[in-house]
Structure formats: structure tokens, C-alpha cells
Chain A
Amino acid sequence: MGYALDFGWLNGAIGMIASGAAMTIFLIAVTTVAGVILSIFGAAAKRSRYPILRKAVGAYVELIRNTPFLVQLFFIFFGLPRFGIRLDPVVAAMLAMTLNMTAYTTEIVGSGLDAVPKGQREAAAALGLPTWLVFIKIVLPQALKVIFPALTSQIIIMMLESSVVSQIAVRELTYEADMLQARTFRAFETYFIVTLVYLGMSIGLRRLLFAGGRRAIAGGMA
């Protein structure tokens, strides 16, 4: 007995898939912005004069990098309410994703900052720029240029990993797929289509980041 694949349900499902994809894109956009900003602080703290600060950031990075994202998510969503911190699923997902992302990007951003020659900083200081301006105008753009490919990969990995936040009922792409297959009883076809959507999103995101990044960085980020 053969099984005939049926994609007839797809017509009525495009809206759900699109809104799920939009949620996934929203989550990864928030995570990327928050993660990159936080990891600049994280990288700075890891290079600070205070051993406690260095150790704390180091411990955080190791803790996140050596445990599964799914467990971190469950810990935040199910574990924190015990201390009266009750989070909306979307907020919990954003928090878990940002904490996870930051642990990886702290290392990436840090290596980028290390790669900027010391003379750049000294030259800018000699021109009379204040320290914060030296950082924003001179050091950061050069560091971003170095780490751009690694950062892009990490953003895509995080986007793919965000599929597990469906487990706490965030209505993103995977969650919508779960709902759809429960309604259509066409599990394989549903996940097949959604997998293709993810593939398209990761290819598109890579293209977009590289195109946007090249323009922004080549023209001088600052």
C-alpha cells in the first residue's frame, strides 16, 4: 500500500507559516541586537582589572556553553517562578536566547577586540579623542570587520536552535508546524515544508547579513 503525499492543506496554511516565521525572525533580531551589545560588555569585563569580574564572566560563559539550550530554557521558564519571577513565554524565550547567544558572542567579540592593533588606540588617543569615542569610532568598527563571518554563523545557529522554544508554547515557526500537523494529520509534509522555510531563512539571513555588513563596514561603520 503506497502513501500519497498531499500538499493540498498548504493553501490554507500559508498565513500560519508566515506568522510563525515572523515570530522566529523577531526573536532572532532581538537576540542578535541584545546579544551583541551585552557581549561587548562581557568581553570588556573579561579583560578588566578586577579578577572577580573576569572569573564571573568566565564562569557564565562556561556554564552556558556546556549545557543544552533546551535545559537553559526550561530552567528559566519553569524554574524561575519559584522565586516569584514568572515570565511570559516570549520573554522567557528572548531571555534564554540572549543569555545563550551572549556566551558565544562574548568570545567572538573579545577575539575581535584583541585583533585590533594597540597602535590604533594610541593614535586615536593622541588625536585627543575621548576613550569612549576611541572605542566606538576606531576599535569597534575594526573588530566587527574581523569577527563578521563568525558572528553571522552564530546568529544563524541561534536562529535554527530557536525552534526549541516551541516547547514552551512560543508561537514561532516550529510551534505553528506542530499545530498544523495536529490539524491536517500530515506530519511529514508539514515538517518538510517548514524545514524548507528554515533552510530558506538561513540562506537568506546569511546573504542579507553579508550584503548589509559589507556595505556598512566598507563605508566605515562609524
Chain B
Amino acid sequence: MIEFTFWDIVRNLLLAARWTVLLSIVAFAGGAIAGVAILLMRISKRRWLRRAAEYYIGLFQGTPLLMQLFLLFFGLPLLGFRIEAWTAAVLGLTLCASAYLAEIWRGGVQSLPSGQWDAGSSLGLHYVAQLRLIILPQAFAITRAPTVGFLVQLIKSTALTSIIGFEELVRTSNAINNATFEPFTVYGLVALIYFVLCYPLTRYTKILELRTARQH
């Protein structure tokens, strides 16, 4: 029987928190890249592309993330992919993040006055250049607060990957709890670690919101 001191618990939890942070960063970056693609479909001139993006977003926002993770975890092996918990976790969170981010940014694009597009075409810019130089930079700037807000949501969502067996903060804490029988301390510390990760971002969101409100 190994004895866990308080500091052993803290040290192990902090080591595990690295995986939570890494997963959040990878999923956010992947989600941002895929999210731009979904956004472009969502605001496309072609009706079927818009529809497809709408269904994609609706699907991810209308089903539990846990089910999405399960489907990837159990579904991909059927297609012949050997899959580990890490792969399913990254893929699931990335896809989910892309849907949410695309929807947030769509709000930004649609809040721009149509004169912005007109001005772009009157300067002789084609569609891609209008998007790249005029529309997207403004849309991203307006939606910075909800985007950071979503990052907080994403960090909290990584907790669900413990259920499909990815060794992040919550899964490690379950193991430590089983060894120490100190659920109050262990889960209290886990909550504290998440809070330390998320609270600064939440504060930053508030600052961004105030800044945007002042500009308008």
C-alpha cells in the first residue's frame, strides 16, 4: 500500500492537468481551422453548402458531447482505424469546437453591414479577397469575447474525455480517489485547478465585452 501525502495528490493532479491543457489547446486550434471551413460553407452563396453547414452545426449543438465521443471511439474502429482514447478525444472535441466556433463567427459576419461587402467589390476585390481582407478580420474582432468564452467551455468539456478513458485531470483524480478514499480533497483540488485555468479567461471575456460595448 502506497501512502499518498497531500502533496503527492497535488503533484499528480498537476501532472495530469498538463494533458487537460494540451488537449484544450489542440482541440481549440483544430476547431478554429475546421471552424473557418464550416463558416465559409455556412455563409456561402450556394444553398446546399449553407444547408450542409447548418445541419453540421445543429447536429453537434443538439447532441451530447459524450455521445459524440462514444460514436467516434466505437465507430472509427468499425471503419478499420485503430483508435486510442487520445485520438477520439482530440477528434471529438475538434469537431464539436468547429461547429460552435463557426456559429459564433457566423454571427460576427452577419452583423457586418452589407456595405462592407459592396465596398470590397467596388474596390475590385474578388470574393476570397473580400473575405480575407475585409469581412473575416472584422468578424473575428467583433466575436473575440464569445470566442474566448467558448474556450472556457472547451476546457471544461475536456473532463468528459475521462469517460472514454483518456488520462486527463478527472480520470487521474478518479484513480487517486480510489487509492486514497479522500474524495472531498481530491475533487475539491480538481475543481480548484479547473477554476485556476478558466477564471482568468472568464475575466478576460468580461474585459473584451466591456471594450466591445464601449466601441458601439
Q: Name A residues whose Cβ lies closer than 8 Å to a Cβ of B.
A: 3, 62-63, 65-72, 74-75, 78-83, 156, 160-161, 163-164, 167, 174, 177, 181, 187-188, 191-192, 194-195, 198-199, 202-203
Contacts and interface: CB of A to CB of B under 8 A. Distances in A.
Contact of A174 (B67, B159, B184, B198): B67
Interface centre among A70, A72, A174, A202 (most CB of B within 10 A): A70
19 contacts: A63-B195, A66-B152, A66-B198, A67-B156, A67-B194, A71-B190, A71-B191, A75-B183, A78-B183, A82-B184, A156-B62, A164-B163, A174-B67, A187-B74, A188-B71, A195-B68, A198-B67, A202-B63, A203-B62
A70 B162 contact: yes
Nearest to B182: A82
A79 B188 contact: yes
Given A62-B199, A79-B184, A199-B62, A71 B170 contact: yes
A202 B62 contact: yes
A85 B195 CA distance: 24
Interface string B34-68: 00000000000000000000000001001111111
Given A62-B199, A75-B183, A174-B64, 13 more contacts: A67-B156, A68-B158, A70-B159, A70-B170, A74-B170, A74-B174, A75-B188, A160-B63, A188-B74, A188-B78, A191-B71, A198-B67, A199-B63
B14 interface: no
Contact of B66 (A79, A81, A156, A163): A163
Interface centre among A81, A191, A192 (most CB of B within 10 A): A191
Contacts of A3: 78
Contacts of B188: 75, 79
B67 A70 contact: no
A156 B162 CA distance: 23
Nearest to A160: B64
B202 A62 contact: yes
Contacts of A72: 191
B148 interface: no
Interface string B145-171: 000000010001111101100000010
B130 interface: no
Contacts of B202: 62, 65-66
B86 interface: no
Interface string B190-210: 110011001100100000000
A51 to B, nearest CB: 19
Contacts of A194: 67
B177 interface: yes
Nearest to B202: A66
A167 B163 contact: yes
Contact of A70 (B68, B160, B177): B160
Nearest to A191: B70
A191 to B, nearest CB: 4
A156 B61 CA distance: 9
A187 B163 CA distance: 15
B22 to A, nearest CB: 16
